[in-house]
Amino acid sequence: MPATVIVGAQWGDEGKGKIVDLLAEHSDVVCRYQGGPNAGHTIVRDGETFKLHHIPSGILYPGRVCVVGAGCVIDPGQLVREIDGLEERGIPTGDLRISGNAHLIMPWHVAIDAAGERRLGRLQIGTTRRGIGPAYADKAARIGIRVQDILDPKILRQKFETALAEKNLELERLHDHPPLEAEELADRMEEYADRLRPYVDDTSLLVDRALRDGKRVLLEGAQGTLLDLDHGTYPFVTSSNPIAGAATTGVGIGPTRIDRVLGVAKAYVTRVGEGPFPTEIEGPEHARVREIGAEFGTTTGRERRCGWLDLVALRFAVRVNGLTSLALTKLDVLSSFAEVPVCVRYRLEDGTETADFPAHQSDFHHCRPVFEPLPGWQREIGGELPAAAQEYVSFVEEALGVPVSLVGTGAAREHVLSLG
């Protein structure tokens, strides 16, 4: 199994980090293909909790090469802090490789992200305010600063000053934000550049060679399908493409190199930020799911909105990612419920029902979920699934036409059942 993509099948936070952590043990190379510090993985290992934003969780295994691909955007300060945090806890980072083509998130991107959200007021997207949108916008406008620019201090300073001349105008005139101090920022960037330079590599070549050598490569997406810039619930999306196809562009390999696409979905659904969410739970059960599932963001600490499992949206994820199997995480969170509703269709405003994800925003914004109540199992999940939990999983498999290969049953890494 040379290359496997792991992709979020919902709105992010599906527990991909844990699944990647599990599969990384049997992999040689682990790559992130898009996103930046808007993502956050929490991995619990031997009672120790690791929170990573940029670095794939494979780094926790000695000898795994971890790649941050060209499709990512990197906040250099954040990445340096992550490297330091790992090294301080005795985890070597020598096998980390960063694509020279990845773009850098600069302080003005962060300032513009926050200022833009403030300006939008009630219409805000609810971004993580990590500068993601503005950094990808500059990339598309071909005025971004790339990781390879840090290889030459003179180029870096030059690019930095040119960019800031324009960005300070934007900050002051559009956003009523004080200008950023060029000298101080350039000095700070040079410090980060010195730290990051040894990690910069031609990661497309590296992954290609690994695949040619028969090595096992994991390609890990951040966020999730419904946050995809092209196929998600626009404009309430992130500014990159989390879907599996983007693994090829984000890493720099061809689509024929990918063998498996594993979707990761929670046994229910969560969403952070604004935007429509048909199966959002109403009433006291909302708080119950949030508390049991500890649904607070890794990156922003924000409370996550919780909903029942949405099979219409999941079927869409199967389609746009070409999922070959599914990992269903956090099934244990549902263990105390007598009945577990699952959304099987949407009822549109005109009264018609559909099992296919609406192609147009107005249909999606106004649809209502049609739930099928499934019996709860009302006991803890141990080494095997209780009958009703097994039925829940089978129901999902049948509705989607995709096997569920892994089930998450608790926070620790050993709490995953493999269903073959």
Residues in touch with ligand IMP (CB under 6 A): 11-13, 38-39, 125-128, 130, 132-133, 222-223, 227, 236, 238-239, 272-273
Asked if residue 74 lies in contact with residue 120, where contact means CB atoms within 8 angstroms, the answer is no
Nearest distance from residue 231's CB to ligand IMP, in Å? 14
Question: For this structure, is 363 an active site residue?
Answer: no
Nearer to ligand IMP by C-beta: 159 or 304? Answer: 304
Only one residue has tokens 């993601």, namely: 132
Q: How far is CA 188 from the centre of its chain?
A: 28
Of the residues 21, 26, 28, 41, only one is catalytic, namely: 41
Asked if residue 66 lies in contact with residue 83, where contact means CB atoms within 8 angstroms, the answer is no
Nearer to ligand IMP by C-beta: 34 or 409? Answer: 34
The rounded distance, in Å, linking the Cα atoms of 107 and 129 is: 11
CB within 8 Å of 68: residues ≥ 6 apart:
31, 32, 54, 55, 56, 74, 79, 96, 97, 98, 99, 102, 203
Asked if residue 268 lies in contact with residue 305, where contact means CB atoms within 8 angstroms, the answer is no
The rounded distance, in Å, linking the Cα atoms of 61 and 257 is: 24
Q: Is 41 exposed, middle or buried (0-12, 13-18, 19+ CB in 10 A)?
A: buried
- Residue 3 three-state SS: strand
The amino acid occupying position 366 is H
Question: For this structure, is 53 an active site residue?
Answer: no
Asked if residue 355 lies in contact with residue 374, where contact means CB atoms within 8 angstroms, the answer is no
Give CA separation, 93 vs 32, 111, 209, in Å: 15, 30, 21
Q: Is 176 exposed, middle or buried (0-12, 13-18, 19+ CB in 10 A)?
A: exposed
Nearer to ligand IMP by C-beta: 133 or 263? Answer: 133
The pair of structure tokens assigned to 165 is: 């001349």
DSSP single-letter state for residue 72: B
- Residue 265 three-state SS: strand
Residues with catalytic roles:
13, 41
